[in-house]
């Protein structure tokens, strides 16, 4: 806490070293502007392009439901899975969506603990994206078990024969990890939403929105006697979610790493998967937020500084992923295990899926390197295109890990090939529809930026530096 200080030395801590920092909200926007702009998205009519995106997304979601009905009524054979490739697109897509779901909680938890104030403009949308991505992910293993109505066997209750689950199985760990992650992310997101729902409640004119926002705001009154517990709750959730977000993809990677399949049985998997998940998640956040920012005029809130920071995270994690790719190859060579060496030889040189490997390598490792240059991080088109390369590349990473490895295991007599069936392709398109549809509904009905948090990082919100404006001008003059 900053105590009273002399008038001359009364410098805002963020500018203590004489550096004029780029403000988090541009153009000195007052708080009421922030409220109006963000609530306006919910209160006004949606732009035409919202409908242009929403209608096809909803249709694709319908397609997803259709393929699921077809799958359940016919049988799991409508997918292209076979022996030896029992984990086809279903698990590829599961890991892909779960990976995307990592950015939200990373932004809200880890960046909160590390006091990265720029997170406030991004975290709400990223958390919503997380929840939606985890929902999309959950569909796949649920139906991959074959008989969807038996999914309750995964819950820790004895089944009809009194048999309990095998708690030593990584697949069961996965059930716990993913469901815990989903529930904690919902709690985190909802607690963060309460003050903003109260804002929408107080602004609502008509009866039904007033009732609904009021119902979910729970009667929140913004009192400091509430805020102090609220802040503690938020801090605790951030502290708990930080190891959680790192654990989820680690546990997902255990599904592979604890098996004895060559190409999967490696200790690098947990950190490699986590870095990849953060990488892919940030790319998806940028893919969604760049158009949202433009469409709803949020340039002052979601600034170049945010995009720059996120591009740097993509560069960092992409490089970690590249390191992991190369280290995997090195260890397979250095380990001198014949099966391992062959698995990677087949993966990069002579196997049926080498094209996928190079596709992945280019998208994930080479493409983000352009972010070393500031002009690239500041050119929105470059950022958008690279983010999409990453989305594409991260899907290929999972494809390389799963079918490539399974198609070539120990005995050549077991070797096979896998290509997805039409149902699988339609289903994947369907989950994209579901993802887009739910995200568009989120934009339509909930505040896309955490208003109460953004207001808290404005320079005028610090009670200890009432004359911040004068001080900033003084600093500027001294610097120039």
Partner 1 sequence: MSASTDNSKSLFGYVAEFQTASDLYHAAEKVTEAGFRRWDVHTPYPVHGMDHAMGLGKSWLSAAVLVGGSTGFLFALFLQFFTQVSLYPTVVQSKPTNLFTLPAFFPVTFELTILFSGFTILFGLLTVIMLPRWNHPLFNSPLFEKATDDGFLMVIEARDPKFKKEKTHEFLTEIGAGKIEEVAH
Nearer to partner 1, 18 or 223 (CB): 223
Nearer to partner 1, 150 or 232 (CB): 232
For residue 84, whether the previous peptide bond is cis, meaning omega lies within 30 degrees of 0, is yes
CA distance 406 to 400: 10
Nearer to partner 1, 175 or 366 (CB): 175
List CB contacts of 105: < 8 A, sequence separation 6 or more.
127, 130, 181, 184, 185, 188, 241, 244, 245
Residue 218 within binding range of partner 1, rule CB under 8 A: yes
Residue 195 within binding range of partner 1, rule CB under 8 A: yes
Nearer to partner 1, 11 or 240 (CB): 240
Q: How many residues are listed for the chain in this entry?
A: 480
CA 116, 118, 119 angle in degrees (round to 5)? 75
Element spanning 160, H or E = none
- The answer to whether the CB of 338 falls within 8 A of the CB of 64 is no
Residue 113 within binding range of partner 1, rule CB under 8 A: no
Residue 240 within binding range of partner 1, rule CB under 8 A: yes
Nearer to partner 1, 198 or 387 (CB): 198
Using CB under 8 A as the binding rule, the residues of this chain from 241 to 270 that contact partner 1 are 241, 243-244, 247, 251, 254
Residue 65 within binding range of partner 1, rule CB under 8 A: no
Minimum CB–partner distance for residue 472 and partner 1 (Å): 16
Residue 469 within binding range of partner 1, rule CB under 8 A: no
Of 334, 325, 338, nearest in space to 400 by CA: 325
CA distance 134 to 138: 6
Residue 294 within binding range of partner 1, rule CB under 8 A: no
Nearer to partner 1, 244 or 283 (CB): 244
Minimum CB–partner distance for residue 105 and partner 1 (Å): 11
Using CB under 8 A as the binding rule, the residues of this chain from 309 to 328 that contact partner 1 are none
- The answer to whether the CB of 100 falls within 8 A of the CB of 92 is no
Phi, psi of 373 (to 5 degrees): -95, 135
| Site size for partner 1 (CB under 8 A) | 73
Minimum CB–partner distance for residue 205 and partner 1 (Å): 12
- The answer to whether the CB of 289 falls within 8 A of the CB of 310 is no
* Token representation of residue 348: 């990069």
Q: What 8-state DSSP symbol labels residue 141?
A: H
Minimum CB–partner distance for residue 320 and partner 1 (Å): 23
Alpha helices in 354-421 (DSSP H): 354-361, 374-378, 380-401, 403-406
Using CB under 8 A as the binding rule, the residues of this chain from 1 to 20 that contact partner 1 are 1-2
Judged by CB under 8 A, which of 24, 198, 321, 406 binds partner 1?
198
Judged by CB under 8 A, which of 21, 147, 228, 476 binds partner 1?
228
Using CB under 8 A as the binding rule, the residues of this chain from 148 to 187 that contact partner 1 are 156, 158, 162-170, 172-173, 176-177, 180, 183-184, 187
């Amino acid at each position: 806490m900053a105590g009273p200080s002399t008038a001359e030395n009364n410098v805002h801590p963020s500018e203590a070293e004489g550096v004029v920092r780029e403000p988090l909200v541009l153009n000195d926007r007052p708080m009421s502007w922030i409220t109006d702009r963000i609530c306006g998205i919910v209160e006004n009519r949606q732009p035409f392009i919202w409908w242009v995106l929403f209608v096809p997304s909803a249709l694709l979601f319908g397609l997803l439901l259709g393929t699921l009905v077809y799958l359940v009524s016919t049988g799991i054979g409508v997918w292209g899975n076979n022996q030896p490739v029992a984990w086809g697109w279903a698990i590829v897509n599961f890991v892909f969506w779960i990976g995307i779901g990592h950015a939200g909680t990373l932004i809200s938890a880890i960046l909160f603990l590390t006091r990265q104030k720029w997170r406030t403009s991004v975290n709400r949308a990223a958390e919503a994206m997380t929840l939606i991505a985890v929902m999309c992910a959950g569909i796949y293993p649920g139906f991959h078990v074959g008989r969807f109505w038996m999914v309750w066997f995964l819950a820790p209750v004895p089944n009809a024969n009194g048999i309990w689950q095998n708690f030593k199985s990584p697949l069961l760990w996965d059930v716990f990890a993913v469901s815990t992650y989903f529930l904690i992310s919902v709690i985190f997101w909802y607690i963060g939403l309460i003050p903003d729902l109260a804002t929408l409640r107080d602004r609502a004119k008509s009866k039904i929105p007033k009732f609904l926002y009021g119902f979910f705001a729970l009667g929140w009154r913004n009192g400091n006697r509430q805020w102090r517990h609220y802040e503690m709750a938020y801090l605790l959730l951030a502290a708990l979610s930080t190891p959680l977000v790192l654990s989820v993809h680690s546990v997902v990677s255990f599904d592979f790493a604890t098996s004895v399949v060559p190409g999967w049985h490696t200790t690098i998997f947990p950190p490699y998967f986590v870095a990849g998940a953060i990488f892919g998640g940030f790319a998806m956040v940028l893919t969604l937020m760049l158009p949202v920012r433009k469409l709803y005029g949020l340039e002052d809130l979601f600034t170049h500084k945010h995009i720059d920071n996120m591009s740097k995270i993509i560069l960092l994690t992409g490089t970690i992923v590249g390191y992991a790719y190369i280290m995997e190859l090195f260890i397979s060579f250095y380990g001198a295990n014949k099966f391992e060496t062959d698995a990677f030889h087949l993966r990069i040189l002579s196997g049926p899926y080498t094209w996928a490997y190079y596709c992945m390598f280019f998208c994930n490792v080479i493409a983000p390197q352009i972010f070393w240059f500031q002009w690239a991080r500041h050119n929105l088109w470059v950022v958008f295109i690279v983010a999409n390369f990453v989305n594409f590349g991260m899907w290929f990473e999972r494809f390389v890990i799963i079918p490539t490895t399974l198609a070539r295991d120990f005995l050549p007599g077991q070797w096979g090939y896998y290509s997805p069936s039409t149902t699988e392709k339609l289903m994947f398109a369907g989950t994209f529809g579901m993802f887009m549809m739910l995200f568009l509904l989120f934009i339509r009905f909930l505040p896309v930026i955490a208003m109460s948090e953004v207001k808290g990082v404005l320079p005028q919100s610090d009670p200890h530096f009432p004359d911040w404006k004068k001080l900033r001008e003084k600093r500027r003059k001294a610097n120039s």
